[in-house]
Amino acid sequence: MEVILSITWASAYQSVRGLVLHYAASWRAAGLDLVELNLSDKGWPDQFGQLLQTRRIRFVFCTSGIGAAIEVDGQNLWEKLNLPLFSLLLDHPAYFAAHHRTQPANVVLGYMFQDHAQYQADEVRAGNLVTSLHYGIPDLPVRKADAGRPRIVFAKTGNCPDVLAASWRAAPKLEAILRDALDELALTTCGNAHAGQFHPLLVRVAAAHNVFLQPFSQLSRFLVAQLDDYLRRRKSTAIARALLPFEVDVFGRAWEHIDTGGARARFHGPVDYATVEGQFPGATASLTMNPNIDLSAHDRFFTALGAGIMPLSDRNAYTEANFPELLPYCFDFMPGSIESAIEHVLADPDATRELARATRARARGPHGVETAAADIVQTMQAAAFAGTVRDEQKFFVP
């Protein structure tokens, strides 16, 4: 059996590894075993050498660019071994620019969110094959909810928006650009904002301050990343404050800026991915937040449905088009919207669970993780085929 070599590392919560393992069953069904190589293990070079001698590797799979840039004798390892690599990128290209622009030709840039792939096509324009995928609904255990009151879980790292905004004061001109951009995005009156808006808006606002942004320049990336990070912090903080009066279990760190005195919500601190996923089967709903995207959904939206519980998520174009029955359980960031979605669950938890499981049954086919897993394999086949085309071949019919 050929193998897909998955590069792992000691990441926070091990959440990325947990997501990759959901693809493994589909790959094995297609005759491709999954073998993990943990770069945090000092013995990984010897393990890799033994693997090369005993198994045939179809392609290498990494996440967030980790492991893509390993070099041997001044040459990229995967290029040297002629091993194609699928780099699953979870962040906007404004972060960690080298992961998105300076990769060898045999690297496929696969974006978890279509919004980020669109930015790559519009602004970065790397020469690699670029694709995007929706994570998909995994086949998780579905069991009868625990007896008693309905349970809602929220797994998210916090971080204070005011701390980030205070750092901008060191550069008043940049602070003015960012403040003007945020005023136009108007989160609490427009309801939401997404990454596709950021760069065009910043180009226009910066020009009004006599700063002319170049595509994917360091300054352009910096400003996009500041807007992206700040709005994520604003959104997660709004969710945390809205859930305080409700019996919600919160898992994650960096919530010190939230006053939890007198709250009914319970803040448990950081836990690993397996612990969070283990909370799903007995819950009624999972609060989740999209990372400033409009054309995809966060993986926790899909994993909630996989466990047969309701994803309480901020609405966007993707969920509106593909999961319209869930819109009563979606929210935006106008006053009272988050609370209304939570109250909708609490008003009839049985109906909430029934709808979540009916949606799971309807959507597991077209929107299952199996679709994304198959697409990754097919994309690597396409990249391999394109690489065999001879340089002198004419790309037109004479």
pLDDT tens-digit profile of 102-119? Answer: 999 999 999 999 999 999
The pLDDT assigned to 147 comes to: 58
Range 300-309 average pLDDT = 96
The pLDDT assigned to 1 comes to: 81
Q: For 5-14, 40-49, 105-114, 371-380, which range has the lowest pLDDT when averaged over its residues?
A: 5-14
Reading the block at residue 163, the tokens are: 């701390």
Instruction: Say how many C-beta atoms besides its own lie within 10 A of residue 261's C-beta.
Output: 6
CA-CA distance, 282 to 358, in Å (whole number)?
A: 17
Look at residue 340 and tell me whether its pLDDT is greater than 80: yes
CA-CA distance, 286 to 346, in Å (whole number)?
A: 13
> Which long-range contacts does 299-304 make (Cβ < 8 Å, 24+ apart)?
299/19, 299/112, 299/135, 300/155, 302/134, 302/135, 302/136, 302/137, 302/138, 302/367, 302/369, 303/137, 303/138, 303/140, 303/277, 304/280, 304/356
Range 309-325 average pLDDT = 98
Domains 2-136+370-387 and 152-367 equal at CATH topology level: yes
pLDDT tens-digit profile of 344-398? Answer: 999 999 999 999 999 999 999 999 999 999 999 999 999 988 766 555 556 555 5
Residue 123 DSSP symbol: I
Alpha helices, DSSP H, located in 307-368: 317-322, 337-347, 349-367
Q: How many percent of the chain have pLDDT more than 70?
A: 95
In Å, the largest CA–CA distance within the chain is 77
Higher pLDDT, 47 or 277: 47
Q: What is the separation of C-alpha 111 from the centre of its chain, rounded to a whole number of angstroms?
A: 9
Nearest CA to 51 among 60, 42, 63, 64? Answer: 60
The pLDDT assigned to 347 comes to: 95
- In 3-state terms, what secondary structure has residue 314? strand
Mean pLDDT value across the chain: 94
Q: State the pLDDT confidence band at 311, using cuts at 50, 70 and 90.
A: very high
The pLDDT assigned to 393 comes to: 56
- In 3-state terms, what secondary structure has residue 8? strand
Residue that has been written with the tokens 């500041």 in this structure: 226
The pLDDT assigned to 12 comes to: 59
User: H or E segment at 72?
Assistant: strand 71-72
The pLDDT assigned to 9 comes to: 86
CA-CA distance, 379 to 233, in Å (whole number)?
A: 34
Range 186-206 average pLDDT = 97
Q: State the pLDDT confidence band at 11, using cuts at 50, 70 and 90.
A: low
Look at residue 244 and tell me whether its pLDDT is greater than 80: yes
Q: For 90-104, 147-161, 381-395, which range has the lowest pLDDT when averaged over its residues?
A: 381-395
Look at residue 196 and tell me whether its pLDDT is greater than 70: yes
Look at residue 145 and tell me whether its pLDDT is greater than 70: no
Domain segments of the chain as ranges: 2-136+370-387, 152-367
The pLDDT assigned to 282 comes to: 85
pTM above 0.75, yes or no: yes
CA-CA distance, 64 to 93, in Å (whole number)?
A: 10
Residue that has been written with the tokens 């466990």 in this structure: 307
Q: State the pLDDT confidence band at 161, using cuts at 50, 70 and 90.
A: very high
The pLDDT assigned to 388 comes to: 63
- For 278, 279, 299, 390, the CA distances from 273, given in Å and listed in that order, are 8, 10, 12, 46
Hey, what CATH class is 2-136+370-387 in? alpha beta
Burial 327-351 (b: 16+ CB within 10 A, else e): eebbbbbeeebbbebbebbeeebee
The pLDDT assigned to 313 comes to: 98
Backbone angles phi, psi at 273, to 5 degrees: -60, -40
**Residue range 152-367 in CATH 2.40.390:** no
- Per the rule left: phi > 0, alpha: psi between -120 and 50, beta: everything else, 310 is beta
CA triple 368-374-376, angle to 5 deg: 110
CA-CA distance, 386 to 159, in Å (whole number)?
A: 44
